[in-house]
Amino acid sequence: GVVDSGSSLILLVYALVVVIFAAWPIITLAYTSGLKKTNDISQSVRSTQFLQTSLFVYFGQWGVIAVLSATKPPAIIGIFAVCLQVSVFLDFFMRIAGSLYSHRIRLAYETMSIENFASQVEKIARAIAAASGIAFVVLLVCAEFVFDAFGFTDDRFYYMFFVLITARFVNNLFGLTDAFLIMTNFQREYKWIIVISSSIAFAVACLGSVLPIEVVASMVALTIVLRNVLASIIIYWRSGLIMLPLFVRAVR
């Protein structure tokens, strides 16, 4: 319906609903007081803000689409929304790995030597990178199919599609930096990484009336990568682990 210019009322109602869903997690993340650092590895997933963080990361991208809907024609918003949501398929392997290994990472960080921990995380990161690389190639090959399937006529689709799936792929190369911060008592740091990167994305969306959609897509793509870049810096600063694409080492 977002491609149909006659659906503006439906789009407006949908945008308002999505903004509410997008705002709730970030407000909770910004003002929660339950992020005290502790060495108790038995604390629940709920107490690590895992659910709230996951909700914001997902609904936040729909919030960007909702904000853009106030400044851009419905047709180009439809193209941007499709490109952004198709790019999420690249996160599939990251989310699966996160579900399987989050608690193991938490336990291993508390019980293993830092060198052995780094070796284990590196193996997981390389497996994620390999799976994501295959998915990236498949999506590149399917770009024309997606363009035709949705009946798009604007060639700007290809730029947005390539930029966004490339950002997701690069993001996956860093491995489970988000799971590491959430599950190893650095939730406070990860909270602010999410707030900062998402605030940049929303600010760019608010400037949609003066920025070309290609610039908006590029900036949103940069914020996707920014999360893992900032997470890698925090991990090095707080734990002495270097976490780069396909490379994990303990330096202190």
Q: Which of 61, 65, 71 is nearest to 210 (CA)?
A: 71
What pLDDT digit, counting tens, does each position of 198-234 carry? 888 888 888 888 889 999 999 999 998 998 899 888 8
d(CA 118, CA 113): 9
* C-alpha distances out from residue 92 to 87, 99, 193, 231, Å: 10, 11, 21, 20
d(CA 128, CA 11): 36
Rg of the chain's alpha carbons, rounded to an integer?
19
pLDDT for 99 equals 66
What pLDDT digit, counting tens, does each position of 62-97 carry? 778 888 888 888 888 889 988 988 888 887 777 777
In the three-class reduction of DSSP (H, G, I as helix; E, B as strand; rest coil), residue 34 is classed as coil
- The residue behind tokens 């909270």 is 191
Residue 165, pLDDT above cutoff 90? yes
- The residue behind tokens 């106030």 is 70
Please give the helix or strand (H or E) that residue 250 lies within, else none.
Answer: strand 247-250
pLDDT tier at 61 (50, 70, 90 boundaries)?
confident
Contact status, residue 180 vs residue 24, Cβ threshold 8 Å: no
- In the structure encoding, which two tokens stand for residue 94, read together? 């990251």
- The residue behind tokens 């799976």 is 131
